[in-house]
Structure 1
């Protein structure tokens, strides 16, 4: 294969990959909302396909979040550093779904959280400026964006309730019931922190459940 043919083959392969990434997002968007063909093309234009390797920090604490991410594959977490220098994981997202430090992204204020890839990730991302453009030109996109934000609020409220009323073992059992694949993809220390316990405590719970 000559150089031109090789370049074309690479372009086609990556074009197919990006088509699949956009297709995952569009399937979710069209499941509850009716987007026109023009709106779909605009979404493709503004949502940028990107891939990152494991442990990459996408957004750093102390900065205004630059992007809203749609997870096509892989796992992300939101975490901050406590006064003792320990990492506290506040959110783990399983694909597919949207992810960022929502409140700070929407208000464009500095976030206390880091956004990090737990695994290799294929993502679509959009800036606040481009999201605003989409929302201002498409009522369907506006409705969809409101729905995503409402789901984020509901999730956080439910998570706060679970942390206050469920014991450690109940929280773990509920997590693996809803997201069984998380155990194979996310380190135990992140899961333990997310569930509000020490890794040793989670290890004991897992051993007790296995027995």
Structure 2
């Protein structure tokens, strides 16, 4: 819980009473490798904060191929915000790719925090804005670069992830085949 409180205090100030309320609303969730935090076709019901482990967000394209959009590791929020906020079915899967430990807030508890804590909505808005900026910063350069450069950028963006996840997910994220990724890795080392 300490990690989550430290994380949100980067985005705004809270008093002890507010921190106590947040602490009371959070529950711990353990996800086993390959379990889903939320699924396509369903409405996202919770907001999570990754304490330990790596999660990926993926979808299936019109050819039925699984595409990894991005990864979420420790000390980051995990939620399909569009589905969660607008009560619409998600188009992505949010899946644990290692065993994960998360702090989780139900939709009802999250809304109660928004209604009760003055400034909570501003903190949440700053967190979401930062996450969106990171997503764009991480994806935009990947589109125009060659595969080797994309892989090197991946290593810089996700330094704590590469040795913890299957290379097939890395290849999917980079938009290359696994054999191409193996060649790139062999040429770099």
Under TM normalisation by the shorter chain, which class is it? over 0.9
Which residue of 79, 86, 101 maps to 2:58?
A: 79
**Which of structures 1 and 2 has the larger relative contact order (alpha carbons within 8 angstroms, sep 6+)?**
2
Aligned 8 A contact 2:11 2:127 in 1: no
Q: TM-score, length-normalised on structure 2?
A: 0.93
Query: Does structure 1 residue 153 correspond to structure 2 residue 128?
Result: no
The aligned residue for residue 164 of structure 1 is 143
Aligned 8 A contact 1:64 1:105 in 2: yes
Determine helix, strand or coil for the equivalent of 2:70.
strand
Q: TM-score, length-normalised on structure 1?
A: 0.83
Structure 1: how far apart are the matches of 2:150 and 2:82?
25
Q: For the pair shown, which has the larger CA radius of gyration, 1 or 2? A: 1
**Post-superposition CA distance 1:48-87 (Å, at most 9, x none):** 1111211112212100111111000000011112233321
Provide the aligned length of Structure 1 versus Structure 2.
Answer: 189
The aligned residue for residue 106 of structure 2 is 127
Which residue of 101, 104, 116 maps to 1:137?
A: 116
Bigger mean CA deviation after superposition, 158-167 or 49-58: 158-167
Structure 1: how far apart are the matches of 2:12 and 2:121?
11
Gap regions ≥5 residues in structure 1: 1-21
Determine helix, strand or coil for the equivalent of 2:119.
helix
Aligned 8 A contact 1:29 1:144 in 2: yes
Structure that is richer in helix per residue: 1
